[in-house]
Chains A and B, each alone.
Chain A
Amino acid sequence: MKIANKKVTAERLVRDALEKAKHFSDYNIFTFLNEEGALKKAREIDEKIKRGEKVGKLAGVPYALKDNFLSPEGETTASAHILEGFKSPIMATSVKKLEDEGAIMIGRTNLDAFAHGSSTENSYFGPTLNAYDRERVAGGSSGGSAVAVALDIVEFATGTDTGGSIRQPASFNGVYGLKPTYGCISRYGVVAMASSTDCIGFFTKTPEDMDLLMSVASGRDPKDMTTLPDYYNAGDGLTDAACPSDTLQAAQAKSSRSTEHAASVKPSRIGIVKDFDNESVDKEIRLALKNKIDLLKSKGYEIVELEMPALKYALAAYYIIVPAEVASNLSRYDGVRYGFRSEKTKDLDSLYIDTRSEGFMPENKRRIMIGNFVLSSGFYDAYFLKAAKARTLIIKEYEKAFSKCDFILTPVSPNPAFKLGEKVNDPVSMYLEDVMSVSLNLAGVPGLAIPAGKTKNGLPVGLQLIGPRRSDKSLIEFSKVLNDNNEGGKN
Protein backbone atom coordinates (compact mmCIF):
# COMPACT_ATOMS: atom_id res chain seq x y z
CA MET A 1 0.00 0.00 0.00
CA LYS A 2 1.03 3.58 -0.57
CA ILE A 3 2.29 5.23 2.60
CA ALA A 4 2.88 8.97 2.88
CA ASN A 5 6.48 10.17 2.59
CA LYS A 6 8.41 13.25 1.51
CA LYS A 7 7.42 12.81 -2.13
CA VAL A 8 3.82 11.61 -1.79
CA THR A 9 1.97 13.61 0.83
CA ALA A 10 -0.78 12.25 3.06
CA GLU A 11 -2.95 15.11 1.83
CA ARG A 12 -2.54 13.90 -1.77
CA LEU A 13 -3.45 10.33 -0.79
CA VAL A 14 -6.50 11.47 1.16
CA ARG A 15 -7.67 13.89 -1.54
CA ASP A 16 -7.39 11.15 -4.17
CA ALA A 17 -9.40 8.76 -2.02
CA LEU A 18 -12.12 11.32 -1.32
CA GLU A 19 -12.33 12.20 -5.00
CA LYS A 20 -12.75 8.55 -5.95
CA ALA A 21 -15.35 8.08 -3.22
CA LYS A 22 -17.39 10.91 -4.75
CA HIS A 23 -16.84 9.62 -8.27
CA PHE A 24 -18.37 6.27 -7.26
CA SER A 25 -21.13 7.80 -5.12
CA ASP A 26 -23.89 5.97 -7.04
CA TYR A 27 -22.57 2.64 -5.70
CA ASN A 28 -23.88 3.73 -2.28
CA ILE A 29 -20.70 2.66 -0.51
CA PHE A 30 -20.47 5.28 2.22
CA THR A 31 -22.83 6.33 4.98
CA PHE A 32 -20.53 9.24 5.89
CA LEU A 33 -17.58 10.97 4.22
CA ASN A 34 -14.98 12.33 6.59
CA GLU A 35 -13.67 15.15 4.40
CA GLU A 36 -12.73 17.74 6.99
CA GLY A 37 -11.42 15.33 9.61
CA ALA A 38 -9.38 13.30 7.14
CA LEU A 39 -7.72 16.32 5.53
CA LYS A 40 -6.86 17.80 8.92
CA LYS A 41 -5.16 14.59 9.98
CA ALA A 42 -3.36 14.30 6.66
CA ARG A 43 -1.88 17.79 7.05
CA GLU A 44 -0.70 16.97 10.56
CA ILE A 45 1.11 13.90 9.27
CA ASP A 46 2.65 15.88 6.40
CA GLU A 47 3.92 18.45 8.90
CA LYS A 48 5.57 15.69 10.90
CA ILE A 49 7.20 14.23 7.79
CA LYS A 50 8.44 17.68 6.81
CA ARG A 51 10.00 18.16 10.24
CA GLY A 52 11.66 14.78 9.94
CA GLU A 53 9.70 13.32 12.87
CA LYS A 54 8.86 9.64 13.13
CA VAL A 55 5.50 8.66 11.66
CA GLY A 56 3.52 5.42 12.01
CA LYS A 57 3.52 2.29 9.87
CA LEU A 58 0.28 3.40 8.18
CA ALA A 59 1.11 7.10 7.88
CA GLY A 60 -1.41 8.88 5.67
CA VAL A 61 -3.02 5.66 4.42
CA PRO A 62 -6.70 6.34 3.63
CA TYR A 63 -9.07 3.64 4.83
CA ALA A 64 -12.80 2.97 5.06
CA LEU A 65 -14.46 2.04 8.34
CA LYS A 66 -17.45 -0.28 8.46
CA ASP A 67 -20.20 1.74 10.11
CA ASN A 68 -20.49 -0.55 13.11
CA PHE A 69 -17.13 0.57 14.56
CA LEU A 70 -17.45 3.29 17.19
CA SER A 71 -15.36 6.41 16.73
CA PRO A 72 -16.10 10.08 17.36
CA GLU A 73 -15.88 10.94 13.65
CA GLY A 74 -19.37 10.89 12.12
CA GLU A 75 -22.38 9.03 13.41
CA THR A 76 -22.02 5.31 14.14
CA THR A 77 -25.30 3.93 12.80
CA ALA A 78 -24.60 0.26 11.92
CA SER A 79 -26.85 1.21 8.95
CA ALA A 80 -29.78 0.93 11.33
CA HIS A 81 -32.53 3.51 11.81
CA ILE A 82 -32.52 2.85 15.57
CA LEU A 83 -28.95 4.23 15.90
CA GLU A 84 -29.73 7.37 13.92
CA GLY A 85 -27.97 10.39 15.38
CA PHE A 86 -25.59 8.35 17.56
CA LYS A 87 -22.25 10.15 17.77
CA SER A 88 -19.95 7.94 19.81
CA PRO A 89 -17.83 9.55 22.50
CA ILE A 90 -15.52 6.53 22.48
CA MET A 91 -13.25 4.91 19.93
CA ALA A 92 -12.97 1.17 19.26
CA THR A 93 -9.59 -0.29 20.24
CA SER A 94 -8.98 -1.54 16.69
CA VAL A 95 -9.68 1.92 15.25
CA LYS A 96 -7.38 3.52 17.80
CA LYS A 97 -4.56 1.14 16.90
CA LEU A 98 -4.91 1.91 13.19
CA GLU A 99 -5.09 5.66 13.76
CA ASP A 100 -2.14 5.61 16.18
CA GLU A 101 -0.10 4.28 13.24
CA GLY A 102 -1.31 7.16 11.07
CA ALA A 103 -4.13 5.53 9.08
CA ILE A 104 -6.81 8.06 8.07
CA MET A 105 -10.52 7.18 7.97
CA ILE A 106 -12.05 8.83 4.90
CA GLY A 107 -15.53 7.42 5.35
CA ARG A 108 -17.86 4.98 7.02
CA THR A 109 -19.21 2.13 4.92
CA ASN A 110 -22.65 0.68 4.40
CA LEU A 111 -23.70 -2.69 5.83
CA ASP A 112 -26.79 -4.78 6.42
CA ALA A 113 -28.33 -3.14 9.50
CA PHE A 114 -26.52 -4.53 12.59
CA ALA A 115 -24.58 -6.78 10.18
CA HIS A 116 -27.65 -8.99 9.72
CA GLY A 117 -27.45 -10.16 6.14
CA SER A 118 -25.44 -11.46 3.22
CA SER A 119 -26.09 -8.76 0.60
CA THR A 120 -26.08 -5.26 2.22
CA GLU A 121 -29.70 -4.99 1.05
CA ASN A 122 -30.93 -4.92 4.65
CA SER A 123 -29.39 -1.48 5.17
CA TYR A 124 -31.60 1.42 6.22
CA PHE A 125 -29.66 3.41 3.60
CA GLY A 126 -30.35 1.02 0.71
CA PRO A 127 -28.07 -1.55 -0.95
CA THR A 128 -24.44 -1.10 -2.05
CA LEU A 129 -23.83 -2.16 -5.66
CA ASN A 130 -21.33 -4.83 -6.67
CA ALA A 131 -18.00 -3.45 -7.94
CA TYR A 132 -18.17 -5.57 -11.10
CA ASP A 133 -21.88 -5.59 -11.95
CA ARG A 134 -24.17 -2.83 -10.80
CA GLU A 135 -27.24 -5.06 -11.04
CA ARG A 136 -25.79 -7.41 -8.46
CA VAL A 137 -25.31 -7.31 -4.70
CA ALA A 138 -22.08 -6.34 -2.99
CA GLY A 139 -22.43 -9.27 -0.62
CA GLY A 140 -22.63 -8.70 3.07
CA SER A 141 -22.82 -7.71 5.61
CA SER A 142 -19.60 -5.70 5.04
CA GLY A 143 -20.61 -4.86 1.44
CA GLY A 144 -19.57 -1.19 1.49
CA SER A 145 -16.09 -2.01 2.78
CA ALA A 146 -15.50 -4.71 0.15
CA VAL A 147 -16.56 -2.44 -2.73
CA ALA A 148 -14.52 0.50 -1.39
CA VAL A 149 -11.38 -1.65 -1.65
CA ALA A 150 -12.35 -3.36 -4.92
CA LEU A 151 -12.89 0.02 -6.64
CA ASP A 152 -9.51 1.15 -5.29
CA ILE A 153 -11.03 4.05 -3.37
CA VAL A 154 -9.03 3.11 -0.28
CA GLU A 155 -6.04 0.91 0.49
CA PHE A 156 -7.97 -1.13 3.02
CA ALA A 157 -11.25 -1.29 4.91
CA THR A 158 -12.36 -2.77 8.21
CA GLY A 159 -15.05 -5.40 8.50
CA THR A 160 -16.77 -7.65 11.00
CA ASP A 161 -17.39 -11.34 10.38
CA THR A 162 -19.96 -13.21 12.45
CA GLY A 163 -20.74 -15.89 9.86
CA GLY A 164 -19.05 -14.78 6.63
CA SER A 165 -19.62 -11.01 6.58
CA ILE A 166 -16.02 -10.30 5.53
CA ARG A 167 -15.21 -13.36 3.41
CA GLN A 168 -18.36 -13.43 1.29
CA PRO A 169 -18.33 -9.76 0.16
CA ALA A 170 -14.56 -10.06 -0.38
CA SER A 171 -15.17 -12.99 -2.74
CA PHE A 172 -18.08 -11.19 -4.49
CA ASN A 173 -15.76 -8.26 -5.25
CA GLY A 174 -12.41 -9.95 -5.88
CA VAL A 175 -10.39 -8.78 -2.90
CA TYR A 176 -8.74 -10.39 0.13
CA GLY A 177 -10.85 -10.65 3.28
CA LEU A 178 -9.69 -12.11 6.58
CA LYS A 179 -11.75 -13.40 9.48
CA PRO A 180 -9.05 -13.93 12.11
CA THR A 181 -9.02 -16.45 14.95
CA TYR A 182 -11.72 -15.63 17.52
CA GLY A 183 -10.19 -13.25 20.07
CA CYS A 184 -7.31 -12.07 17.89
CA ILE A 185 -8.50 -8.46 17.54
CA SER A 186 -10.33 -6.58 20.27
CA ARG A 187 -14.10 -6.25 19.86
CA TYR A 188 -14.20 -3.28 22.23
CA GLY A 189 -16.15 -0.45 20.64
CA VAL A 190 -17.71 -2.51 17.87
CA VAL A 191 -21.51 -2.88 17.77
CA ALA A 192 -22.13 -6.39 19.11
CA MET A 193 -24.04 -8.90 17.01
CA ALA A 194 -23.25 -12.38 18.39
CA SER A 195 -20.55 -12.16 21.04
CA SER A 196 -19.33 -15.77 20.76
CA THR A 197 -18.72 -15.58 17.00
CA ASP A 198 -18.07 -11.88 16.19
CA CYS A 199 -14.61 -11.22 14.74
CA ILE A 200 -12.93 -8.03 13.52
CA GLY A 201 -10.96 -8.20 10.27
CA PHE A 202 -9.93 -6.46 7.07
CA PHE A 203 -10.30 -6.15 3.31
CA THR A 204 -7.09 -5.62 1.32
CA LYS A 205 -5.75 -5.92 -2.21
CA THR A 206 -2.69 -7.99 -1.23
CA PRO A 207 -1.68 -10.56 1.41
CA GLU A 208 1.23 -8.27 2.39
CA ASP A 209 -1.19 -5.48 3.34
CA MET A 210 -3.27 -7.95 5.34
CA ASP A 211 -0.18 -9.02 7.28
CA LEU A 212 0.74 -5.41 8.05
CA LEU A 213 -2.76 -4.61 9.33
CA MET A 214 -2.88 -7.73 11.48
CA SER A 215 0.46 -6.88 13.03
CA VAL A 216 -0.97 -3.46 13.98
CA ALA A 217 -4.49 -4.38 15.11
CA SER A 218 -4.13 -7.74 16.89
CA GLY A 219 -3.33 -8.36 20.52
CA ARG A 220 -4.68 -8.41 24.04
CA ASP A 221 -6.91 -5.58 25.15
CA PRO A 222 -7.78 -5.05 28.82
CA LYS A 223 -11.12 -3.65 27.60
CA ASP A 224 -12.05 -6.95 25.91
CA MET A 225 -11.42 -9.92 28.17
CA THR A 226 -11.91 -12.31 25.25
CA THR A 227 -8.76 -11.14 23.46
CA LEU A 228 -5.88 -13.58 23.16
CA PRO A 229 -2.28 -12.73 24.06
CA ASP A 230 -0.45 -11.18 21.13
CA TYR A 231 0.44 -14.36 19.25
CA TYR A 232 0.34 -12.72 15.84
CA ASN A 233 3.56 -10.79 16.29
CA ALA A 234 5.10 -13.20 18.80
CA GLY A 235 4.77 -16.27 16.64
CA ASP A 236 3.19 -18.73 19.04
CA GLY A 237 1.10 -16.64 21.41
CA LEU A 238 2.88 -17.81 24.51
CA THR A 239 5.61 -15.22 24.86
CA ASP A 240 3.63 -12.05 25.44
CA ALA A 241 5.28 -10.29 28.36
CA ALA A 242 2.13 -8.28 29.09
CA CYS A 243 0.13 -11.43 29.53
CA PRO A 244 -0.76 -12.15 33.19
CA SER A 245 0.75 -15.35 34.51
CA ASP A 246 -2.52 -17.15 35.16
CA THR A 247 -3.61 -16.49 31.60
CA LEU A 248 -0.25 -17.63 30.33
CA GLN A 249 -0.62 -20.88 32.23
CA ALA A 250 -4.05 -21.39 30.81
CA ALA A 251 -2.68 -20.81 27.33
CA GLN A 252 0.23 -23.18 27.86
CA ALA A 253 -1.99 -25.85 29.32
CA LYS A 254 -4.09 -25.79 26.19
CA SER A 255 -1.38 -25.21 23.64
CA SER A 256 -0.98 -28.90 22.97
CA ARG A 257 -4.49 -29.13 21.54
CA SER A 258 -4.56 -29.89 17.87
CA THR A 259 -6.57 -26.76 17.03
CA GLU A 260 -3.56 -24.73 18.10
CA HIS A 261 -1.04 -23.82 15.53
CA ALA A 262 2.69 -24.34 15.80
CA ALA A 263 4.29 -21.32 14.13
CA SER A 264 7.16 -23.31 12.68
CA VAL A 265 4.94 -25.59 10.59
CA LYS A 266 5.57 -25.36 6.88
CA PRO A 267 2.36 -26.33 5.14
CA SER A 268 2.58 -29.34 2.86
CA ARG A 269 -0.85 -30.99 3.05
CA ILE A 270 -3.96 -29.10 1.92
CA GLY A 271 -7.39 -30.46 2.75
CA ILE A 272 -10.47 -30.23 0.56
CA VAL A 273 -13.98 -30.88 1.85
CA LYS A 274 -15.93 -33.38 -0.27
CA ASP A 275 -19.30 -32.05 0.92
CA PHE A 276 -18.48 -28.58 -0.39
CA ASP A 277 -17.83 -29.78 -3.92
CA ASN A 278 -21.13 -31.01 -5.28
CA GLU A 279 -24.01 -30.18 -7.64
CA SER A 280 -25.38 -27.43 -5.42
CA VAL A 281 -22.21 -25.39 -5.95
CA ASP A 282 -21.92 -23.16 -9.03
CA LYS A 283 -19.94 -24.85 -11.83
CA GLU A 284 -17.57 -21.98 -12.30
CA ILE A 285 -16.76 -21.87 -8.59
CA ARG A 286 -16.02 -25.61 -8.68
CA LEU A 287 -13.76 -24.98 -11.65
CA ALA A 288 -11.91 -22.20 -9.80
CA LEU A 289 -11.38 -24.60 -6.90
CA LYS A 290 -10.11 -27.28 -9.24
CA ASN A 291 -7.69 -24.84 -10.87
CA LYS A 292 -6.18 -23.91 -7.52
CA ILE A 293 -5.96 -27.57 -6.49
CA ASP A 294 -4.10 -28.30 -9.74
CA LEU A 295 -1.80 -25.38 -9.04
CA LEU A 296 -1.06 -26.74 -5.56
CA LYS A 297 -0.41 -30.23 -6.93
CA SER A 298 1.97 -28.81 -9.53
CA LYS A 299 3.85 -27.09 -6.72
CA GLY A 300 4.25 -30.36 -4.86
CA TYR A 301 1.53 -30.04 -2.21
CA GLU A 302 -0.34 -33.12 -1.09
CA ILE A 303 -4.15 -32.83 -1.44
CA VAL A 304 -6.10 -34.55 1.35
CA GLU A 305 -9.80 -35.32 0.89
CA LEU A 306 -11.68 -34.66 4.12
CA GLU A 307 -14.97 -36.05 5.32
CA MET A 308 -16.61 -33.51 7.63
CA PRO A 309 -20.23 -34.69 7.89
CA ALA A 310 -21.18 -32.41 10.81
CA LEU A 311 -20.51 -29.33 8.67
CA LYS A 312 -23.79 -29.77 6.86
CA TYR A 313 -25.50 -28.97 10.17
CA ALA A 314 -23.39 -25.87 10.77
CA LEU A 315 -25.85 -23.51 9.11
CA ALA A 316 -28.81 -24.74 11.16
CA ALA A 317 -26.75 -24.53 14.36
CA TYR A 318 -25.56 -21.07 13.37
CA TYR A 319 -29.09 -19.78 12.74
CA ILE A 320 -30.02 -20.88 16.26
CA ILE A 321 -26.96 -19.75 18.23
CA VAL A 322 -26.49 -16.40 16.49
CA PRO A 323 -30.14 -15.22 16.67
CA ALA A 324 -30.14 -16.20 20.38
CA GLU A 325 -27.13 -13.95 20.97
CA VAL A 326 -28.61 -11.27 18.70
CA ALA A 327 -31.87 -11.22 20.69
CA SER A 328 -29.84 -10.70 23.84
CA ASN A 329 -27.40 -8.11 22.44
CA LEU A 330 -30.10 -6.08 20.70
CA SER A 331 -32.35 -5.86 23.74
CA ARG A 332 -30.28 -2.80 24.73
CA TYR A 333 -31.78 -0.70 21.93
CA ASP A 334 -34.75 0.84 23.64
CA GLY A 335 -34.62 4.52 22.69
CA VAL A 336 -33.71 5.67 26.19
CA ARG A 337 -29.98 6.34 26.27
CA TYR A 338 -28.93 6.99 22.67
CA GLY A 339 -29.98 6.83 19.03
CA PHE A 340 -33.49 7.06 17.65
CA ARG A 341 -36.48 7.49 19.97
CA SER A 342 -40.06 7.21 18.76
CA GLU A 343 -41.97 10.43 19.31
CA LYS A 344 -45.20 11.13 21.20
CA THR A 345 -45.20 7.93 23.19
CA LYS A 346 -47.56 7.96 26.14
CA ASP A 347 -45.59 5.91 28.65
CA LEU A 348 -42.29 4.09 29.07
CA ASP A 349 -43.57 0.78 27.71
CA SER A 350 -44.80 2.31 24.49
CA LEU A 351 -41.51 4.21 24.18
CA TYR A 352 -39.63 0.89 24.16
CA ILE A 353 -42.09 -0.85 21.88
CA ASP A 354 -42.62 1.97 19.37
CA THR A 355 -38.89 2.73 19.16
CA ARG A 356 -38.01 -0.90 18.51
CA SER A 357 -40.90 -1.47 16.09
CA GLU A 358 -40.00 1.59 14.01
CA GLY A 359 -36.22 1.37 14.44
CA PHE A 360 -35.40 -2.19 13.39
CA MET A 361 -35.32 -3.54 9.84
CA PRO A 362 -37.39 -6.67 8.97
CA GLU A 363 -34.30 -8.91 9.13
CA ASN A 364 -33.42 -7.56 12.58
CA LYS A 365 -36.94 -8.44 13.71
CA ARG A 366 -36.74 -11.95 12.24
CA ARG A 367 -33.49 -12.68 14.05
CA ILE A 368 -34.60 -11.23 17.36
CA MET A 369 -37.84 -13.22 17.24
CA ILE A 370 -36.07 -16.46 16.21
CA GLY A 371 -33.60 -15.86 19.05
CA ASN A 372 -36.40 -15.45 21.55
CA PHE A 373 -38.07 -18.56 20.13
CA VAL A 374 -35.03 -20.85 20.49
CA LEU A 375 -34.39 -19.56 24.00
CA SER A 376 -38.00 -19.90 25.24
CA SER A 377 -38.84 -22.48 27.81
CA GLY A 378 -40.12 -25.57 26.05
CA PHE A 379 -37.88 -25.02 23.01
CA TYR A 380 -34.52 -24.38 24.66
CA ASP A 381 -33.41 -28.04 24.78
CA ALA A 382 -34.63 -28.88 21.29
CA TYR A 383 -33.01 -25.87 19.66
CA PHE A 384 -30.45 -23.87 21.61
CA LEU A 385 -28.93 -26.73 23.61
CA LYS A 386 -28.99 -29.00 20.56
CA ALA A 387 -27.17 -26.33 18.51
CA ALA A 388 -24.56 -25.88 21.26
CA LYS A 389 -23.89 -29.64 21.09
CA ALA A 390 -23.67 -29.49 17.30
CA ARG A 391 -21.09 -26.76 17.79
CA THR A 392 -18.95 -29.18 19.83
CA LEU A 393 -19.13 -31.73 17.00
CA ILE A 394 -18.12 -29.08 14.46
CA ILE A 395 -15.10 -28.07 16.57
CA LYS A 396 -14.07 -31.72 16.90
CA GLU A 397 -14.37 -32.16 13.17
CA TYR A 398 -12.00 -29.27 12.55
CA GLU A 399 -9.57 -30.68 15.14
CA LYS A 400 -9.62 -34.00 13.35
CA ALA A 401 -9.21 -32.34 9.96
CA PHE A 402 -6.16 -30.40 11.11
CA SER A 403 -4.51 -33.59 12.30
CA LYS A 404 -4.60 -34.72 8.66
CA CYS A 405 -3.77 -31.48 6.87
CA ASP A 406 -2.27 -28.04 7.49
CA PHE A 407 -4.88 -25.85 5.82
CA ILE A 408 -8.23 -26.41 4.13
CA LEU A 409 -9.29 -24.88 0.81
CA THR A 410 -13.02 -24.45 0.05
CA PRO A 411 -15.35 -22.10 -1.81
CA VAL A 412 -16.56 -19.11 0.22
CA SER A 413 -20.15 -19.33 -0.99
CA PRO A 414 -22.09 -21.64 -3.32
CA ASN A 415 -22.71 -18.86 -5.90
CA PRO A 416 -21.03 -15.73 -7.21
CA ALA A 417 -22.77 -12.38 -6.56
CA PHE A 418 -26.52 -12.70 -7.11
CA LYS A 419 -28.95 -10.13 -8.53
CA LEU A 420 -30.26 -7.31 -6.36
CA GLY A 421 -33.67 -8.25 -4.98
CA GLU A 422 -33.28 -11.91 -5.91
CA LYS A 423 -33.19 -13.30 -2.37
CA VAL A 424 -34.22 -10.41 -0.16
CA ASN A 425 -37.75 -11.69 0.43
CA ASP A 426 -36.70 -15.29 1.02
CA PRO A 427 -34.67 -15.41 4.24
CA VAL A 428 -33.82 -19.12 4.03
CA SER A 429 -32.38 -18.84 0.52
CA MET A 430 -30.36 -15.81 1.71
CA TYR A 431 -29.11 -17.82 4.73
CA LEU A 432 -28.02 -20.65 2.42
CA GLU A 433 -25.44 -18.26 0.95
CA ASP A 434 -23.61 -18.61 4.30
CA VAL A 435 -23.51 -22.40 4.24
CA MET A 436 -19.72 -22.64 3.73
CA SER A 437 -18.65 -19.73 5.88
CA VAL A 438 -20.46 -20.08 9.21
CA SER A 439 -18.73 -23.20 10.57
CA LEU A 440 -15.46 -21.27 11.00
CA ASN A 441 -17.14 -18.79 13.32
CA LEU A 442 -18.72 -21.57 15.36
CA ALA A 443 -15.28 -23.21 15.72
CA GLY A 444 -13.33 -19.95 16.20
CA VAL A 445 -10.82 -20.81 13.45
CA PRO A 446 -9.47 -18.25 10.96
CA GLY A 447 -10.46 -18.02 7.30
CA LEU A 448 -8.98 -15.96 4.50
CA ALA A 449 -10.99 -15.23 1.35
CA ILE A 450 -8.69 -15.01 -1.65
CA PRO A 451 -9.46 -13.91 -5.21
CA ALA A 452 -9.53 -16.91 -7.58
CA GLY A 453 -10.39 -15.66 -11.03
CA LYS A 454 -13.66 -14.66 -12.66
CA THR A 455 -16.71 -16.27 -14.19
CA LYS A 456 -17.41 -16.06 -17.94
CA ASN A 457 -19.63 -13.06 -17.16
CA GLY A 458 -16.79 -11.31 -15.38
CA LEU A 459 -17.92 -11.84 -11.80
CA PRO A 460 -15.16 -12.44 -9.25
CA VAL A 461 -14.87 -15.87 -7.65
CA GLY A 462 -13.34 -16.26 -4.21
CA LEU A 463 -12.03 -19.25 -2.31
CA GLN A 464 -11.40 -19.55 1.39
CA LEU A 465 -8.34 -20.85 3.15
CA ILE A 466 -9.06 -22.22 6.60
CA GLY A 467 -6.43 -22.84 9.27
CA PRO A 468 -6.25 -24.01 12.88
CA ARG A 469 -6.63 -21.43 15.64
CA ARG A 470 -3.81 -18.88 15.72
CA SER A 471 -2.54 -19.84 12.28
CA ASP A 472 -3.57 -16.43 10.86
CA LYS A 473 -0.05 -15.37 9.96
CA SER A 474 0.91 -18.57 8.15
CA LEU A 475 -2.49 -18.59 6.44
CA ILE A 476 -1.81 -15.14 4.97
CA GLU A 477 1.72 -16.19 4.01
CA PHE A 478 0.47 -19.37 2.37
CA SER A 479 -2.13 -17.48 0.29
CA LYS A 480 0.78 -16.04 -1.75
CA VAL A 481 1.37 -19.55 -3.13
CA LEU A 482 -2.13 -19.48 -4.62
CA ASN A 483 -1.85 -16.02 -6.13
CA ASP A 484 -0.52 -16.89 -9.56
CA ASN A 485 -2.15 -14.01 -11.47
CA ASN A 486 -1.50 -11.12 -9.13
CA GLU A 487 -5.22 -10.84 -8.33
CA GLY A 488 -6.86 -8.45 -5.89
CA GLY A 489 -8.85 -5.29 -6.62
CA LYS A 490 -10.56 -4.12 -9.80
CA ASN A 491 -8.19 -1.44 -11.00
Chain B
Amino acid sequence: MEIKREDILHLADLSEFKLSEKEVESLGKDLQDIIKYISQLDKLDTENIEPTYQVFEMENVWRDDEILEQDATREELLALTKEAKDNQIKVPKVL
Protein backbone atom coordinates (compact mmCIF):
# COMPACT_ATOMS: atom_id res chain seq x y z
CA MET B 1 0.00 0.00 0.00
CA GLU B 2 1.04 3.58 -0.57
CA ILE B 3 1.90 5.72 2.44
CA LYS B 4 0.79 9.30 1.94
CA ARG B 5 1.85 12.46 3.68
CA GLU B 6 -1.34 12.50 5.78
CA ASP B 7 -0.68 8.90 6.89
CA ILE B 8 2.75 9.92 8.19
CA LEU B 9 1.25 12.89 10.03
CA HIS B 10 -1.46 10.66 11.51
CA LEU B 11 1.11 8.09 12.71
CA ALA B 12 3.23 10.90 14.17
CA ASP B 13 0.17 12.12 16.00
CA LEU B 14 -0.57 8.63 17.39
CA SER B 15 3.08 8.40 18.47
CA GLU B 16 3.15 11.89 20.09
CA PHE B 17 5.83 13.18 17.70
CA LYS B 18 6.13 16.57 16.08
CA LEU B 19 8.03 16.03 12.83
CA SER B 20 10.08 18.55 10.90
CA GLU B 21 9.44 18.83 7.15
CA LYS B 22 12.68 16.93 6.58
CA GLU B 23 11.55 14.12 8.89
CA VAL B 24 8.14 13.87 7.21
CA GLU B 25 10.01 13.26 3.98
CA SER B 26 12.68 10.85 5.24
CA LEU B 27 10.38 8.89 7.57
CA GLY B 28 7.82 8.77 4.79
CA LYS B 29 10.30 7.06 2.51
CA ASP B 30 11.61 4.72 5.24
CA LEU B 31 8.15 3.69 6.38
CA GLN B 32 7.08 3.06 2.80
CA ASP B 33 10.09 0.74 2.32
CA ILE B 34 9.46 -1.08 5.60
CA ILE B 35 5.74 -1.54 4.93
CA LYS B 36 6.53 -2.85 1.48
CA TYR B 37 8.89 -5.40 3.04
CA ILE B 38 6.54 -6.59 5.79
CA SER B 39 3.63 -6.82 3.34
CA GLN B 40 5.22 -9.95 1.86
CA LEU B 41 3.44 -11.82 4.67
CA ASP B 42 0.40 -11.67 2.37
CA LYS B 43 1.92 -14.60 0.53
CA LEU B 44 2.01 -16.85 3.58
CA ASP B 45 -0.99 -19.13 3.95
CA THR B 46 -2.30 -18.78 7.51
CA GLU B 47 -5.74 -20.31 6.96
CA ASN B 48 -6.98 -21.97 10.18
CA ILE B 49 -3.82 -21.04 12.08
CA GLU B 50 -4.21 -19.68 15.61
CA PRO B 51 -2.17 -16.59 16.47
CA THR B 52 0.65 -16.72 19.05
CA TYR B 53 1.14 -13.66 21.23
CA GLN B 54 3.65 -15.00 23.72
CA VAL B 55 5.98 -17.99 24.01
CA PHE B 56 6.06 -18.33 27.76
CA GLU B 57 4.74 -21.81 28.32
CA MET B 58 3.01 -21.28 31.64
CA GLU B 59 -0.24 -19.66 32.58
CA ASN B 60 -1.72 -18.32 35.80
CA VAL B 61 1.33 -17.88 37.96
CA TRP B 62 -0.30 -17.07 41.32
CA ARG B 63 1.04 -15.32 44.35
CA ASP B 64 -0.51 -14.18 47.62
CA ASP B 65 -2.38 -10.90 47.39
CA GLU B 66 -0.11 -8.91 49.62
CA ILE B 67 2.18 -5.95 49.10
CA LEU B 68 5.75 -7.08 48.67
CA GLU B 69 8.72 -5.06 49.77
CA GLN B 70 9.39 -2.29 47.25
CA ASP B 71 12.82 -1.71 45.74
CA ALA B 72 12.54 2.08 45.69
CA THR B 73 11.06 4.55 48.16
CA ARG B 74 8.70 7.39 47.24
CA GLU B 75 11.51 9.88 47.90
CA GLU B 76 13.88 8.06 45.58
CA LEU B 77 11.29 7.98 42.82
CA LEU B 78 10.33 11.62 43.21
CA ALA B 79 14.01 12.55 43.08
CA LEU B 80 14.08 11.31 39.47
CA THR B 81 11.67 13.93 38.16
CA LYS B 82 12.63 17.45 37.10
CA GLU B 83 10.36 19.17 39.57
CA ALA B 84 8.46 17.83 42.58
CA LYS B 85 6.36 19.64 45.15
CA ASP B 86 4.40 18.29 48.17
CA ASN B 87 5.17 14.69 47.19
CA GLN B 88 3.82 15.29 43.69
CA ILE B 89 5.40 15.68 40.27
CA LYS B 90 5.09 19.17 38.84
CA VAL B 91 4.27 19.65 35.14
CA PRO B 92 3.13 22.64 33.04
CA LYS B 93 -0.55 23.52 33.04
CA VAL B 94 -2.89 20.86 31.70
CA LEU B 95 -5.71 23.08 30.44
Contacts and interface: CB of A to CB of B under 8 A. Distances in A.
B33 interface: yes
Interface stretch (A138-146, A271-279, A338-346, A450-458): A338-346
A86 B53 CA distance: 31
Interface string B39-53: 111111010011111
A254 interface: yes
Given A310-B44, A388-B51, A341 B82 contact: yes
Interface in B15-68: 15-19, 23, 26-27, 30-31, 33-35, 37-44, 46, 49-63, 68
Contact of A337 (B11, B14, B49, B81): B81
Given A225-B61, A354-B18, A357-B18, A392 B41 contact: no
Interface stretch (A19-27, A105-113, A162-170, A364-372): A364-372
B51 A391 contact: yes
A254 B57 contact: yes
Contact of A182 (B23, B39, B49, B56): B56
B41 A353 contact: no
B85 interface: no
Interface string A53-96: 00000000000000000000000000000000011011100000
B55 A346 contact: no
Given A316-B38, A319-B34, A341-B82, A90 B44 contact: no
Interface stretch (A42-50, A125-133, A245-253): A245-253
Closest 6 A/B residue pairs (Cβ): A444-B55, A388-B51, A389-B46, A89-B76, A338-B80, A89-B72
23 contacts: A89-B72, A246-B60, A246-B62, A247-B58, A250-B59, A313-B44, A316-B37, A334-B16, A335-B82, A336-B81, A336-B89, A339-B80, A346-B92, A350-B92, A353-B16, A356-B16, A368-B17, A369-B17, A376-B14, A382-B42, A383-B38, A386-B42, A390-B41
Contacts of A338: 80-81
A347 B92 CA distance: 5
Among B11, B34, B40, B56: residue with most chain A CB under 10 A: B34
A373 B14 CA distance: 9
B71 to A, nearest CB: 4
Contacts of A362: 23, 26-27
Chain A, interface residues (CB within 8 Å), range: 35 or more
A151 interface: no
A287 to B, nearest CB: 29
Contact of B44 (A197, A341, A390): A390
A390 B17 CA distance: 31
Contact of B68 (A196, A222, A315): A222
A87 B79 CA distance: 10
A373 B35 contact: yes
B55 A182 contact: yes
Given A348-B92, A373-B11, A444-B56, A247 B61 contact: yes
Given A196-B53, A327-B15, A348 B81 contact: no
B5 to A, nearest CB: 14
A375 to B, nearest CB: 9
Given A228-B57, A244-B63, 13 more contacts: A196-B55, A222-B68, A254-B57, A316-B40, A353-B16, A356-B17, A357-B17, A372-B11, A386-B41, A387-B38, A388-B51, A431-B34, A444-B55
